[in-house]
Amino acid sequence: MNKWLELFLGLILVNVVIFFAWFSGEWFGTLWNFKHATWEFFKGGAIWFLLMIGFLLIVLGISDLKE
């Protein structure tokens, strides 16, 4: 596939998903509110990311203490 076509289709897909998620609460009510689900997923990802950074720093600190 053409690289410009892939880039264009990717941008369209990202915009459609963002638009759909943004208005899903108004269209489908609370049952299919994708904006809330996306926010919860992002918050969980941020917590796991910070936790893994903490573990990495602990392992690096223990490694430095050995030397």
Q: What percent of the chain is predicted at pLDDT more than 70?
A: 91
| Distant-in-sequence, close-in-space partners of 38: CB < 8 Å, separation ≥ 6 | 21
Distance CA 64, CA 46 (A): 27
Q: Is the pLDDT of residue 12 over 90?
A: yes
Pick the residue with more confidence: 9 or 37?
A: 9
At 19 the pLDDT is 86
Half-sphere exposure of 28 (CA within 13 A, CB side): 12
Are the CB atoms for 35 and 24 separated by under 8 Å?
yes
At 2 the pLDDT is 81
Give the pLDDT band (50/70/90) at residue 37: confident
Q: Is the pLDDT of residue 53 over 80?
A: yes
